[in-house]
Structures are given as structure tokens and as C-alpha cells.
Amino acid sequence: MAAEEGAEIVGQRIGSGNPVIGKEKAEAGRCRECHGADGNSSDAKIPNHAGQYAAYLVKQLSDFQSGARRHEIMTIMAEDLSAADMADIGAYFASREIMQGDGAGANALGRNLFDNGDQGRDIPACASCHGTRGKGGIAGNVIYPVIGGQRKIYLRSQLVGWKLGDRKNSPGGVMNKIAESLSDDEIEALADYISGL
């Protein structure tokens, strides 16, 4: 975990699962084959999970089980997981060093949207939920995932999915509303900037 994180934040990030048991389950369940032994994937289409909030990962796995989120491979991978399995696997990935970008995404358009949004189009700043460096947070019962340092191709695909309505599992559909207002160029710019954080 990042040295600057306090014990309370680390506890929130890891949640109720056991990261040691989660490492074994992630290995046995083949999670680490795609998402990386340290939670950083080697495939640009597969998301990093390093330092992601465990509760966010649990929600996504639950959504794959229920059909609220669809993915050909992840639906199969999640189908037999118990609540304890999900909590432990989530805790393992959450306990890894938080994903970091390479700083290469110096995209002015992406940075402006991330930092300021566009009030004229009711687009909030990404930073207002995901944090100034995109490292996520918890506000009440809502978990804002780590997006800073996430894979660029994955970020782009998710924003496009939100825009087209192929993905619909954000609280209150907020990500669909935001993405629907973004142009293709803005999606590309955001993916470029956020991946570098």
C-alpha cells in the first residue's frame, strides 16, 4: 500500500476480507493470470486491480453473477464465487500497491475535463468523485473506484460502454448520464489523461 495512506484508509480499501487467503483464492481461481500477480495486468484490454477498493471489486463480481454487468469471461469466472471468496479476493487486490500511470497522459482536454468538468453540459469534474489523482474514495455507501493509472484501452472501452448503455451498473446511472454527454474525442482525451495519473 502507498506509504501516505493512513491505517483507516487502508482498512476501508481492504474491507472485511482476508488478503492472505485472497491471494490463494486469486491464484486458484486464475484471477492473477489475467489481472497480474501484483494486480497490474499485462494486457491493455484487461483492467488493473492493484489497490482498487475491495468493496468495488466485490460489487463488480456480484454484478457479473446477477447479470447487472455482462462480460463473457467474467460472468463465468464469477458464477461460483461465494460472498467470502469475493471479499477475500477483493482484499488481496486492494492490498497491492495502488496502480500508477506513467505520467505520459499530458492531454490538456482530458485534464480540463478531469479537473473541471463542463458545467454548461452538466458534466461534473471526474476529480470530484474519483479524487484529484483518480485514486478513488468512499463517501457514505458509495465507493468511487481507483481510475488513475488504469489501462487506457480499458478506460476508453468502459466510457464507450457507459455512453452506449452497454454498461449500466453505476449508482443511479450517473456514469451513463456523464458519458452520454462526452464526444468521442473527449472520451479519448480522458482515457489518455487518466491512464497517466
Per the annotation, binding residues for heme c are 31, 34-35, 74, 126, 129-130, 175
Binding residue ranges: 31, 34-35, 74, 126, 129-130, 175
Which three three-digit cell numbers place residue 20?
A: 492472505
